[in-house]
Amino acid sequence: MNALSRVSRFTTLAAVLAVVAACLSGIKALSESPARTNTKYPQHILIIRHAEKTGDKADVHLSKQGKERAEVLDQLFAVSKARPHSFPRPDFIFAASHQKDSQRPLETVTLLARKLKLSINNEYNSKKPPASSTTKDKKKAAKKKRMQELRDEIFGSPKYFGKTILVAWRHSTIPELAKTLGASKVPAKWDDKVFDRVWQITYADDGKAIFRDLPQRLLPGDAEK
């Protein structure tokens, strides 16, 4: 083989290697690039029910198991053997406002907020507006911020766009809340005995919502799927 042939083969090999390196570099960059940030809607809304209650109607607080769930709620956002794909970490936390029979939504996320160094907005009421027609009742209901106002707050402020929002709510109106936030194919009811689910709503930039009902898998006995 003469010198010219050797140079030609070396040049061809170098060109091929350069193309392969460029392709690998592109694949690596693509795999490492972050997900596209939503510019018109939140990225995700995570809805959870408050943690377990005692069963005593006079007790407005969490049970022992409920407190245990609240203590480990931050594990939802950490990768582990039980959860190889963690939930997106919240940027904002909402909790249903206190009612005379329950302070549990706020209690459920208080420790989590402290760990994540976030404040909690608990201005919004989880109850449905009363069906009464008296002027007095209408004025009383109008003073309370409800899930429609929560929707308007989240969808109306750019500070939430592209962010993840966690909402701790009461089970009786969680399905209505999810629908109000644009989710479809939502279960008609949240079982009164269930405390270990996360309803995740993910938004496209056009507002289309993808709904998923997922397990928390935080405490022994929690559902696996």
Question: CB count, 10 Å around CB of 129?
Answer: 14
Q: Domain extents for the chain?
A: 1-33, 44-215
State pTM to two decimals. Answer: 0.80
Cα gap 46→90, rounded to integer Å: 8
For domain 44-215, give its CATH number from 3.30.465.10, 3.10.580.10, 3.40.800.10, 3.40.50.1240: 3.40.50.1240
Place of tokens 């911020």: 145
Report the sign of the C-alpha dihedral through residues 52, 58, 60, 61, in that order: negative
Please give the Cα distance from 182 to 208 (Å, whole number).
Answer: 8
Per-residue pLDDT of the chain (225 residues; tens, 9 = 90+): 554 444 345 444 444 444 434 433 433 333 333 456 889 999 999 999 999 999 998 999 999 999 999 999 999 999 988 788 999 999 999 999 999 989 999 999 999 999 999 999 999 999 876 665 556 655 555 567 999 999 999 999 999 999 999 999 999 999 999 999 999 999 999 999 999 999 999 999 999 999 999 999 999 999 999
The set of residues, in sequence order, having a beta carbon less than 8 Å from that of 156 and lying 6+ positions away, is none
CB contact set of 109 (below 8 Å; sequence gap of 6+): 70, 73, 93, 95, 120, 166, 168
Question: From the CB of residue 26, how many other CB atoms can be counted at a distance below 10 Å?
Answer: 10
d(CA 79, CA 117) in angstroms, rounded, equals 20
